[in-house]
Structure 1
Amino acid sequence: MRHSQETVKAGIFGIAGNVILFLIKIILFFFSGSIAILADSFHTLSDSISSMLMLAGIYKSRTPPDREHPYGHGKTEYFVMVFMAIILVFAGFMFSKEATLRIMKPIELKIDVWILSGLLFTILIKEAMSLYAFRVVRRTGSKIVQVDAWHHRFDTITSVFVLFSLIVQRFGIVRMDGIAGFVVGIIIAALGLKFLKDAYDRIMGVPPSIDMVRGIKEIAMGVDGVRAVHDFIISNVESFPIITFHIEVDRNLSVEKAHSVADEVEKMVQKEYGGVCVVHVDPACEDQSVREMLKCLKERIKDVEVVQDVYTVSKTEKGFVVEIVFKRNTEAGKKEEVIDLIRKELVKRFGVENIEFQERPGFLPEK
């Protein structure tokens, strides 16, 4: 709740600050006629609109799960990011177009010192807003506030560039105003495209962070009775994480005891990361030859670029089963080639036959 209040406060602060800065820049534009200042002022206005959308996204994402949305509304912020990004792209291209006309037909501007001073004042205020927003991001981890923070930072950078162009303009380089406006427009559009891609990736689903996977492993291995952890599937990472993985326990444990171990792991993981955690229990392999085989495979795949991991090696009545994970987008022919090489090496080193390879999907960050 404290984090939610901080993000709301950051949104309100951003709206108020951007509206004031927009009005100041519009006044500077009216007295200077600079297309660069006009573009910069609307960049600031777009920041104000994005802050309003940010608040709407935060409010909606805090809505509890309902009948139609049992996983909550946490992904709302990513759809808000899409709208924010579209605003930036549109504004950027429009100002680049107008600035191109100013480059082709430059206008000599009269830039007084007080206009430069006013622009410098807006730069200092905007950077203070950026620093505050990034501090909120560090405390809350909010992606949508991070977008807003970068809006502030890029507004600062573009304003610095505009200030520089106006200073140069005073020395007679009349096309500099149009050039600055064009560059600012391209920066705005590029920033919008970046956020659009980031929102798309988040909506479609991205792998969990390595730190998150490592943290879950540490929690699970810290529970008495857990021998190993593997086969992770972690989805909907930020808004409502759904976490599943396998643990290995002593094969001689009773069903009741094994269930108790898994239940403790689930509780510990859910306490740390929220969402839902479901743990599958595997019997730990006690066969030394199989353990040596798995160790050999773990070492061998370090030199194989397309293999992400080897989960387990198990012994059956017919032979051995190896669970292998290939990196995404690996071609079928390459997979068969790698499996054939590994099979030959296992036969040569361990004298085993009847090796079945089962490919498992990979959901973790690729190495």
Structure 2
Amino acid sequence: MMQDNRSQVRKVLWLTLLLNLFVMALKLTLGLASGSLSLQADALHSITDSVNNVLGLITNRFSSPKPDREHPYGHQKFEAIGALGIAAFLGIACFEILRGAVEKIFLNTESAAIKVTSTELWLLLLVLGINIFVAFYERNVGRKVNSPILIADAKHTMSDIWVTIIVIAGLVGVWQAKNLNIPQLEWLDVILAFPVALLVFYSGWEVIKENLPWLVDEMAIAPEAIHDTVMEVSGVLNCHEIASRGILGRQVFIEMHLIVDTNDIIAAHKITETIEEHLEKRFGKVRVLIHVEPPDYEEEDISFGSTEPIA
């Protein structure tokens, strides 16, 4: 049986939701006080963090690994769907950052309207510290309980860290431009927005790359690895048409056709149980479906569509 870690995930999501709401409010207040469009845009970007937490709480409610009548294979794909939702928000954030930078280049050239104080910069460092704590906390717990929604949200928060760093660097440039007599520093706020947008986009792509294989039932374990493990069991003569899906370490389903060296049903059943034990020992929690066949059904192909014979 798959372990249900949803309660741990919910605790993390509620804590990070409260912290993200505080960060968003502080950024928006500082952005309006200083007149910094980049900081206001960063506050809008932080809204997606809170939305992600709410989305995570919703999908967590429906993502039980335990099967039921309507969902005989469990509900964990709901978490993958939630992670893809986070990827969509990252894409929106990327677009908004680029749009804001372009608008500032062509429509808002009066950087003098921005008023930055050392107090505001120190408060932004506090915001940065909170984001760093949230990102690493979510990532560590997500890896511990194998939660894709926490890992995806940690990537999103990590992108928010980079955005905040860029905003601080740009505001420091504006703050010191006149003191250092380097007016070009006033454009740091805009120029550094472009690499930040790329970092946000990359984070979204990583989330998609990690969760899409689960949703499209991509192979979870190489059939050759499964075949080698099965053939180690005494009494197995042939194993073919091996298929697997899911995510290794999270939830994996394995199917195979098997030929055993016995005509006794009870003995054949004991062999299949031994196979399940071997597979679980090597690959972790798996759910195995074995179709026992007579010797005449022996095949050389290990997996569906395989062209390589069994060694």
How many residues are aligned here?
290
1:150 to 149, 155, 171: 155
Paired residue type of 1:157: W
Distance 1:282 1:113, change over 3 A: farther
Q: Which residue of 1 aligns with 2:301?
A: 323
Are 1:159 and 2:164 an aligned pair?
yes
Distance 1:143 1:183, change over 3 A: same
Deviation at 1:90, TM superposition (A): 2.1
Q: Which residue of 1 aligns with 2:309?
A: none
Q: Which residue of 2 aligns with 1:254?
A: 263
Deviation at 1:136, TM superposition (A): 0.8
**What does 1:87-236 align with in structure 2 at a 5 Å threshold?**
87-104=89-106, 105-106=108-109, 107-108=111-112, 109-169=114-174, 170-171=176-177, 172=183, 173-196=185-208, 198-209=210-221, 214=225, 220=230, 223-226=233-236, 231-236=241-246
Q: Which residue of 1 aligns with 2:63?
A: 61
How far apart, in 2, do the equivalents of 1:197 and 1:138 lie?
17
Distance 1:207 1:47, change over 3 A: same
**What does 1:12-23 align with in structure 2 at a 5 Å threshold?**
12-23=14-25
Unaligned runs of at least 5 residues, structure 1? 285-311, 315-320, 326-359, 363-367
Deviation at 1:68, TM superposition (A): 3.7
How far apart, in 2, do the equivalents of 1:196 and 1:147 lie?
9
How far apart, in 2, do the equivalents of 1:260 and 1:189 lie?
51
1:243 partner SS: strand
8 Å contact kept, 1:93–1:185 = yes
How far apart, in 1, do the equivalents of 2:291 and 2:271 lie?
10
How far apart, in 2, do the equivalents of 1:12 and 1:159 lie?
22
Distance 1:56 1:87, change over 3 A: same
Are 1:50 and 2:62 an aligned pair?
no
Deviation at 1:183, TM superposition (A): 4.0
Deviation at 1:208, TM superposition (A): 0.7
Larger radius of gyration: 1
Distance 1:269 1:277, change over 3 A: farther
Deviation at 1:146, TM superposition (A): 0.8
1:205 partner SS: coil
8 Å contact kept, 1:35–1:181 = no
1:275 partner SS: strand
Deviation at 1:226, TM superposition (A): 3.9
Deviation at 1:79, TM superposition (A): 2.1
How far apart, in 2, do the equivalents of 1:4 and 1:201 lie?
22
TM-score normalised by length of structure 2:
0.78
Distance 1:61 1:156, change over 3 A: same
Paired residue type of 2:275: V
How far apart, in 2, do the equivalents of 1:241 and 1:322 lie?
24
8 Å contact kept, 1:57–1:80 = yes
**What does 1:305-344 align with in structure 2 at a 5 Å threshold?**
322-323=300-301
Q: Which residue of 1 aligns with 2:287?
A: 275
2:99 partner SS: helix
How far apart, in 2, do the equivalents of 1:213 and 1:156 lie?
42
How far apart, in 2, do the equivalents of 1:222 and 1:9 lie?
43
1:174 partner SS: helix
8 Å contact kept, 2:240–2:302 = no
Q: Which residue of 1 aligns with 2:254?
A: 243
RMSD: 3.3
